Structure 1
Amino acid sequence: MKKEYETPEVRREKLRQKELRNPSSSVHGSNLSDLVGGLGWKGTGVFILLIIAGSIIYSLFF
């Protein structure tokens, strides 16, 4: 597949695989970026809403 026809997801996955082969070249932690990259924008929004709702519920009971 040519570079100009690759989707952003394919490019992101190739970069992630490249970082996994050489972890010392990674400047940032890959845990959160993998999570957000895999979820998409809708999943990320739901994840953020769950965190906010959980903190509100926690503050009401404790």
Structure 2
Amino acid sequence: MSQLKVTLIKSAAHRLPKQRTIVKELGLGRVNSSVVLPNNEATRGAIFHIAHLIEVEEVK
């Protein structure tokens, strides 16, 4: 299974509480922080909600 590298591009400050929670749960803290996550339905669902704040790359 492939993995996704998720990078926080925009700050989660002044966003909806649900969006801030998702950013924290994905393990993203500050702007430009990155984390490698499994490419599954749960991860993709979370990414969908905060797509305007992050950048996603596929990692093999």
Q: Give TM-score scaled by structure 1 length.
A: 0.27
Considering fraction of residues, name the structure with more strand.
2
Larger Rg belongs to: 1
Higher relative contact order (CA 8 A, sep 6+): 2
